[in-house]
Chain A
Amino acid sequence: QVQLVESGGGLVQPGGSLRLSCAASGFVFSDHYMSWVRQSPEKGLEWLAYITGRDSSVYYSNSVKGRFTISRDNGENSLYLQMNSLTADDTAIYYCVRRIYYHSGSNFDLWGQGALVTVSS
């Protein structure tokens, strides 16, 4: 079954850290770019970062650059998001997403169920 399953969400205090994990199954994980996308009522859907399939090159949105780190373990079919210096603005549902390239762009064709991260004292 082709799926992505996130884990690691929860309540964290402002200034704290949290690490999200995403377990992939049903497809050749190492063949695919992967991303993290979050959703909040205030900001809507927001792409955060992507990582390439085999050489793990990374790219971040300006909103999380320097605070969040995306990584992967192809042997474990897993994607990670290390989040540091969290603020209330980071409160959101975080989705693990597979990114597919086509001739003129890319899309997010497979989404996990989401992990809720709440930043509050």
Chain B
Amino acid sequence: DIRMTQSPSSLSASVGDRVTITCRASQSISNSLNWYRQKPGKAPELLIYAASILQSGVPSRFSGSGSGTDFTLTISSLQPEDFSTYYCQESYFAPYTFGQGTKLESK
């Protein structure tokens, strides 16, 4: 199975900050990489797919980049609703592994 490793595991930031989360795959996955946000007590929601394509309805402050094994999710200006947990997920091979998550907390 492909292993997905996110860093950092947790991050403290303030409203208006620019933040970046990284995700590394244990082998090349081309651009088969998705990002999700999970608000407390809610189901995950898709933010970005194919490494850099913004899902319909997702604010433009979110962006993604990368290919091969290294990927990043950037939030250009944090909003209060962004203090959540973020997950990357590979869709190259089953079992479509998720990263362990990055919890974004208010400073």
Q: Which of A59, A61, A104, A112 interacts with B43 by CB under 8 Å?
A: A112
A104 adjacent to B30 (CB under 8 Å): yes
Partner of A104, one of B32, B98, B101: B32
A111 to B46, CA, bound (A): 9
With A44-B101, A47-B96 in contact, is A105–B43 under 8 Å at CB? no
Q: Complex: how many Å from CA A45 to CA B96?
A: 10
The answer on a CB contact under 8 Å between B94 and A95 is no
Q: Decide if B98 touches A105 in the complex (CB within 8 Å).
A: no
Number of A-B residue pairs with CB-CB distance less than 8 Å in the complex they form: 65
Chain B interfacial residues counted at CB < 8 A:
28
Please state if B95 and A105 are interface contacts (CB–CB under 8 Å). Answer: no
Which A residues between 34 and 91 are near B, CB-CB below 8 angstroms? 44-47, 59, 61-63
Q: Is B74 an interface residue (CB 8 A)?
A: no
Q: Which chain B positions have C-beta within 8 A of A111?
A: 43-45
Could you tell me if B91 and A59 are in contact, using CB atoms closer than 8 angstroms? no
Residues of A in contact (CB 8 Å), total 21
B50 at the interface (CB under 8 A from A): yes
B70-107 interface (Cβ within 8 A of A): 87, 89-92, 94-101
- Indicate whether A25 reaches chain B with its CB closer than 8 angstroms: no
Question: Which B residues form the contact surface with A (CB < 8 A)?
Answer: 30-34, 36, 42-46, 49-50, 53, 55, 87, 89-92, 94-101
